Amino acid sequence: MNFPITNISIARAGRREWTGLAALSLPTLLLSIDTSVLYLALPHLSADLKAGSLQQLWIMDIYGFMIAGFLITMGTLGDRIGYRRLLLTGAAAFGAASTLAAFSHTAGWLIFARAMMGIAGASIMPSTLAIIRNMFSDQHQRNTALSIWLSCFLVGMIIGPLVGGLVLESWSWGTVFLLGVPVMLLLLAAGPFLLPEYRENNTHRLDWLGVAHSLAAILPLTYGLTELARNGWDGLSFMAVIAGLAFAAIFVFRQLRITDPLLDLRLFAGRSFSATLLVMLFTAIIMGGTAFFFTQYLQVVKGLTPMTAGLWLIPQAIGMIASSLLTPVIAKRFRAAHILTAGLLLTTLGFLLLTQVDGSWGWTCLITGMIATASGVAPVVVLGTNLVISSAPPEKAGAAASMSETSNQLGIALGVAALGSLGTMVYRLHLLPRLPEGLPGTVLSAAKENITGALTAAGSLPAPAANALIRQARLSFTAGMEATSLLAAVGMAGLAVVCFTVLKKK
Q: What is the CATH number of the domain that holds 367?
A: 1.20.1250.20
Are residues 324 and 471 located together in one domain of the fold?
Answer: yes
Are residues 216 and 120 located together in one domain of the fold?
Answer: no
For residue 39, what pLDDT band results from cuts at 50, 70 and 90? low
Last residue of a domain, one of 160, 181, 206: 206
Q: Is residue 3 part of a domain?
A: no
The per-residue pLDDT for 204 is 64
Lowest mean pLDDT among 318-332, 344-358, 451-465: 451-465
As a whole number of Å, the end-to-end CA separation of the chain is 34
Q: What is the pLDDT of residues 416-438, one digit of tens each?
A: 778 888 888 888 888 888 887 77
For residue 344, what pLDDT band results from cuts at 50, 70 and 90? very high
Write b or e for each residue in 14-45: b if 16 or more Cβ atoms lie within 10 A of its Cβ, otherwise e. Answer: eeebbebbebbbbbbbbbbbbbbbbebbeeeb
Are residues 271 and 255 located together in one domain of the fold?
Answer: no
Are residues 256 and 279 located together in one domain of the fold?
Answer: no
Q: 316: left (phi > 0), else alpha (psi -120 to 50), else beta?
A: alpha
Q: Is residue 23 part of a domain?
A: yes
11 residue type, one letter: A
Instruction: Select the more confidently predicted residue: 467 or 160.
Output: 467
Q: Is residue 2 part of a domain?
A: no
Instruction: Select the more confidently predicted residue: 271 or 286.
Output: 286
Mean pLDDT, the chain, whole residue set: 83
Q: Is residue 1 part of a domain?
A: no
Q: Which of 36, 185, 25, 157 is nearest to 99 (CA)?
A: 185
Q: Is residue 7 part of a domain?
A: no
Q: Which of 373, 379, 374, 380 is nearest to 351 (CA)?
A: 373
Write b or e for each residue in 175-206: b if 16 or more Cβ atoms lie within 10 A of its Cβ, otherwise e. Answer: ebbbbbbebbeebeeebeebbbbbbbeeeeee
Mean pLDDT, to the nearest integer, of 139-152? 86
Are residues 249 and 300 located together in one domain of the fold?
Answer: no
Mean pLDDT, to the nearest integer, of 488-494? 95
Percent of the chain exceeding pLDDT 90 equals 17
d(CA 147, CA 125): 15
Are residues 42 and 185 located together in one domain of the fold?
Answer: yes
Are residues 121 and 218 located together in one domain of the fold?
Answer: no
Instruction: Select the more confidently predicted residue: 146 or 396.
Output: 146
Torsion of CA 195, 196, 197, 199, to 10 degrees: -110
Q: Among 139-153, 168-182, 368-382, name the most confident range.
A: 368-382
Are residues 309 and 439 located together in one domain of the fold?
Answer: yes
Last residue of a domain, one of 246, 261, 276: 261
Q: 128: Cβ–Cβ under 8 A, 6 or more apart, which residues?
A: 24, 27, 28, 87, 149, 401
Mean pLDDT, to the nearest integer, of 381-408? 82
Q: Is residue 344 part of a domain?
A: yes
Mean pLDDT, to the nearest integer, of 75-101? 90
Are residues 399 and 427 located together in one domain of the fold?
Answer: yes
Q: In this structure, are residues 373 and 351 in contact, taking their beta carbons and an 8 Å threshold?
A: yes
Are residues 272 and 394 located together in one domain of the fold?
Answer: yes
| CA separation, residue 251 to residues 225, 261, 333 (Å) | 19, 10, 42
The per-residue pLDDT for 9 is 45
Are residues 27 and 163 located together in one domain of the fold?
Answer: yes
Domain that holds residue 145: 13-206
Q: DSSP per residue over 307-328, as a string?
A: HHHHHHTHHHHHHHHHHHHHHH
Last residue of a domain, one of 181, 206, 231: 206
Q: Which of 326, 389, 492, 300 is nearest to 83 (CA)?
A: 389
Tally the domains of the chain: 3
Q: Is residue 188 part of a domain?
A: yes
The per-residue pLDDT for 154 is 78
Q: What is the pLDDT of residues 461-485, one digit of tens each?
A: 888 888 888 888 889 889 999 999 9
For residue 345, what pLDDT band results from cuts at 50, 70 and 90? very high
Q: Is residue 385 part of a domain?
A: yes
Q: DSSP per residue over 89-131, as a string?
A: HHHHHHHHHHHHHHT--SHHHHHHHHHHHHHHHHHHHHHHHHH
Are residues 164 and 307 located together in one domain of the fold?
Answer: no
Taking each continuous run of H as one helix and of E as one strand, the counts in the chain are 18, 0
Sign of CA dihedral 344, 345, 350, 352: positive
